[in-house]
Chains A and B, each alone.
Chain A
Amino acid sequence: MTSPAPETFTPSARPPADLDAYWQAALDELEALPPAAEVDPLPLRSTDFADCYALKLTSIGPYRLFAYYSVPRGDGPFPAIYHAPAYASVVAVPPYEERRRHVVLSLCARGQRLSDRPFAASYPGLLTHGIESPASYIYRGIVCDAVRGVDFLLSRPEVDARRIAAVGNDLALLVAALRPRVAAVVMANPLFYAAADLAPATSTYPWEEINDYVRLSPDRAAAVFGTLAYFDPLHLAPRVRSAVYLPHDRPGGLFTAERLAPLVAALPDGATLYELTGYGYTDRCAQEAWLADQLGTRAG
């Protein structure tokens, strides 16, 4: 299939007419449930400079979630880095060095390991689970799970609520849209951005899950892309008040600067675009430097 021409790229999906109502109903459902947080020490994953906790929270469903929560020793409040759930079964323990100067939260959304009862996600499979309608789509719950993580951070006295960064795929941007107190967002490899146009342009998973589904059930294509439109960060971008960092592919990749341009334009304050070099250490250092600038933690 032919890829959309980058220089003329305009996402085809329009915002659903009831987009705001859809998300307000989800947030209302979340609001109605107490998070019932349990914060239990996790000595095995603690260090001499940070205490790690096993955190449990309730999200819509109701569904009980697990998260790793790390707090530096010493006097807070501390800036926080929130690792929004990635598209993977495993959620990693917060990175060692990050934990020195930040509160770090790594949340396991429903379906991921440690939050996989009663629902255990399949990979591939999760991206199209219940995709026939926005009401049944699994990501309605997963976005609420991610929002619950931000709400937890905002509730904690050891967290500097003015300095919270969300890092991840679209979920990082979506939670910033739904919880505008997030100060900074790093969004890489989005799942939902212009999915109707970009998924057919690749055969790489997880996007290939969408292609698989539509190939087998072409009669449901309109419903599939109709559901995905509720999750497209392009459509929620106008709500974002955060600084945004968008690592993107070099020309020839799937997520190039040209293809992300409509998203940048939709963000009230634009975004910092960073072209990935292919040198992983160089790229990581650049991202860490940007985050440190946003959170006021740059050394020296």
Chain B
Amino acid sequence: MPRPSPETYPSTTVKPADFDQFWTAVLAEADRLPLAPTFEPVPLRSTPQVDVFDVRFTSLDGLRIAAWYCRPAGRRGPLPGLIIVPGYVSEPLLPKLWAERGYAALSLAPRGKLRSNAQFNPGYPGLLTHNIVDRNTYGYRGFYADAYRAVDVLLSRAEVDRGRIGVHGSSQGGALTVLIAALRREITCGAAGAPYLCGFMDAAALTHSYPYQEINDYLRLYPERAGAVRATLNYYDIINFADRITCPMLINIGLEDDVCPPETGYALVRAMTNARVDLHVYPNCAHDAGSAFHARLVADFLAEHLHG
């Protein structure tokens, strides 16, 4: 029997009535904390072309969060800014290649990543179901706030042009790209690959691959908690942030992606009703989402909007 078209798969994500109120309160709580950013030079990772800094800043609940900051050596700006956001299991890469292309690039390590896990370390697997029955303490609450604050960290640099800030990532990084573009008006454009955290419960029903399998594992042991899980996740579903985006977005998905099912990627794009979205769909690609071919498009897209 042929597989139904992923393009028309109906999302079961529901936006809670108090969704905006919930996030306004969380982000206001984050905003009340001094950012206190520090930028320590890292000679070991610097090159004649790129200056590398080890960054720390304060985020929700007072946690100190890490990032890498790379800028073209010897350039004082104004430079276009670029936020790079990581996947679920991967450690943030040093964005040296982006700095070589002329960006002031910040690669974020949200709470739970190795350099940001002294006070919060649910593990992998673990983060996706950490306090999943409670929207007020769910693992992604602070994680999303860390992504939101990354923009402030980049804007704290005098060499960064406030009018040219991009964001890019794949998988969880794709989700965070959409989130940041939704929450921050300063974002000029975003390039999101294989976006994760979209249609959580649909995705868990469509795949047995991790990380979504964490939800299936959890509900196998605690089936009676399904309602509470769904209720929490509706507050964190990236689809529910999507209509806030007004900047240009580049999205790529793989039609054979068993990690972030394409059905959920299509649902996200349908929800981006106020943005100009350039969607690229790659047949015969899995969670790579065509990155072998798409990387050049991302570079061109960011250059068009950020380098002018």
Residues of the B chain whose Cβ atoms lie less than 8 Å from the Cβ of A45:
125, 217
> Does B223 interact with chain A (Cβ within 8 Å)?
no
Q: B213 at the A/B interface (Cβ < 8 Å)?
A: yes
Query: Given that A44-B217, A92-B210, A205-B93 are contacting pairs, would A278 and B293 also be in contact in the complex, using a CB cutoff of 8 Å?
Result: yes
A52 to chain B: closest residue by CB: B217
**Chain A CB within 8 A of B208 CB:** yes
Question: Would you call B213 and A124 a contact (CB within 8 A)?
Answer: no
Give Cα A276–Cα B93 distance, bound, in whole angstroms. 23
* Neighbouring A residues of B286 by C-beta, 8 Å: 280-281, 284
Within 8 A of A (CB), among B218-243: 218, 220-221
Cα A293 to Cα B73 in complex, Å, equals: 52
Contact of B124 among A113, A204, A216, A280 (CB under 8 A): A113
Chain A stretch 48-94: residues in CB contact (< 8 A) with chain B = 88-90, 92-93
Say whether A43 contacts B221, CB under 8 Å.
yes
* A96 interfacial by beta-carbon distance below 8 Å: yes
Closest to B289 in A: A280
Bound: A276/B286 CA distance, A: 14
Judging by beta carbons under 8 Å apart, are A124 and B285 in contact? no
Is A23 part of the contact surface with B, judged by Cβ < 8 Å?
Answer: no
Whether B209 contacts A95 by the Cβ 8 Å rule is yes
Decide if B44 is an interface residue (CB 8 Å cutoff). Answer: yes
User: Is B297 part of the binding interface, using a Cβ–Cβ cutoff of 8 Å?
Assistant: no
**How many Å from the CB of B221 to the closest CB on chain A?**
6
Chain A CB within 8 A of B274 CB: no
Residue A12, interface by CB 8 Å: no
The residue that A44 contacts in the complex, of B44, B94, B218, with Cβ under 8 A, is: B218
The answer to whether B114 touches A122, judged by C-beta atoms less than 8 angstroms apart, is yes
Contact of A96 among B90, B123, B213 (CB under 8 A): B213
Q: How far is the CB of A42 from chain B (nearest CB, A)?
A: 10
**CB proximity of B44 to chain A, nearest CB, Å:** 5
Interface residues on A, range: 20 to 34
Q: Does A297 contact B (CB under 8 A)?
A: no
Shortest distance in angstroms between B294's beta carbon and chain A's nearest beta carbon? 10
Scan residues 67-95 of chain B and give those whose CB is less than 8 A from a CB of chain A: 89-91, 93-94
Task: Report the bound CA distance from A97 to B97 in whole Å.
Answer: 36
CB distance from B197 to the nearest CB of A (A): 17
Closest B residue by C-beta to A48? B220
Closest beta carbon of chain B to A129's beta carbon, Å: 13
User: Which residues of chain A (271-286) have a CB below 8 Å from chain B?
Assistant: 276-282, 284
- Does B284 lie within 8 Å of A279, measured CB to CB? yes
Q: Mark B91-129, 1 if CB is under 8 A from A, else 0.
A: 101101100000000000000001000000001110000
**Shortest Cβ distance from B43 into A: residue:** A216
Q: Is A203 an interface residue (CB 8 A)?
A: yes
Question: Closest chain B residue to A279 by CB distance?
Answer: B284
Interface string of A93-113 (1 = CB under 8 A from B): 101110000000000000001
CA A216 to CA B45, docked complex, whole Å:
9
Which residues does chain B contribute within 8 Å of A92, judged by CB atoms? Answer: 89, 210
A9 on the B face (CB < 8 A): no
B209 contact from A43, A96, A213, A216, Cβ within 8 A: A96
B146 within 8 A of A: no
Asked if residues A124 and B94 are in contact (CB atoms below 8 Å), the reply is yes
A213 in contact with B210 given A122-B114, A280-B254 (CB within 8 Å): no
Give, as a whole number of angstroms, the nearest-CB distance from B45 to chain A. Answer: 6
In whole Å, how far is B293's beta carbon from the nearest beta carbon of chain A?
A: 6
- Whether B292 is near chain A, meaning CB under 8 Å from some CB there, is yes
B202-218 vs A, CB cutoff 8 Å, 1 = contact: the mask equals: 00000011100100011
Q: Does A220 contact B (CB under 8 A)?
A: no
Looking at the assembled complex, report how far the CB atom of A95 sits from the nearest CB atom of chain B, in whole angstroms. Answer: 7
Cβ of A213 and Cβ of B44 under 8 Å apart? yes
Check if A215 is an interface residue, CB within 8 A of chain B. yes
Cβ-defined contact, B209 with A88, below 8 A: no
In the complex, what residues of A have CB within 8 A of residue B210's CB?
Answer: 92-93, 96
The answer to whether A280 touches B218 (Cβ under 8 A) is no
| Contact (A44, B97) CB under 8 Å given A89-B91, A212-B44, A215-B47 | no
Q: CB-CB < 8 A to A120: which residues of B?
A: 114
Q: How long is the Cα–Cα vector from A96 to B125 in the complex, in angstroms? A: 14
CB distance from B84 to the nearest CB of A (A): 13
B45 touches A212 (CB 8 A): yes
A-B contact list, 22 entries, CB within 8 Å: A88-B90, A89-B114, A90-B90, A92-B89, A93-B213, A96-B209, A113-B123, A120-B114, A204-B97, A212-B44, A215-B47, A216-B43, A278-B288, A279-B282, A279-B288, A279-B290, A280-B256, A280-B287, A280-B288, A281-B254, A281-B286, A284-B286
Binding site for A on B (CB under 8 A): 43-45, 47, 89-91, 93-94, 96-97, 114, 123-125, 208-210, 213, 217-218, 220-221, 254, 256, 282-290, 292-293
Residues of chain A at the chain B interface (Cβ within 8 Å): 43-45, 47, 88-90, 92-93, 95-97, 113-114, 120, 122-124, 203-205, 208, 212-213, 215-216, 276-282, 284
**Further 15 A-B residue pairs, CB within 8 A, beyond A45-B125, A216-B43:** A89-B89, A92-B210, A93-B125, A113-B123, A113-B124, A203-B97, A204-B97, A212-B44, A276-B292, A278-B288, A278-B292, A279-B282, A280-B254, A281-B254, A281-B285
